[in-house]
Amino acid sequence: MSRKEQKMAKFSIMLFGIDSYTKNKMQLPYKLDAKSSDAALREARMCAMTFYPRFSETEKPDVEVVKR
């Protein structure tokens, strides 16, 4: 295993928000490998914008480290 792989951790992220068109509440779960929680959160938000363009974040996200 290389040093680069050892520094990665698995994060479980839940984004909370609404669908701006229907106004329905949404929860978007993501499990990502990243070097830090900030990087994982940034990637989750990027995925949300790509696949759910009507998603609008309304609450603080839930970020947990699953595995270091």
The reported pLDDT for the residue numbered 6 is: 59
Confidence band for 1, pLDDT divided at 50, 70 and 90:
very low
**Strand ranges inside the chain, DSSP E:** 9-19, 25-34, 55-57, 62-67
Higher pLDDT, 68 or 40: 40
The reported pLDDT for the residue numbered 9 is: 92
Higher pLDDT, 15 or 4: 15
The pLDDT tens digits for 10-66 are 999 999 999 999 999 999 999 999 999 999 999 999 999 999 999 999 999 999 988
Q: Where are the domains of the chain?
A: 3-67
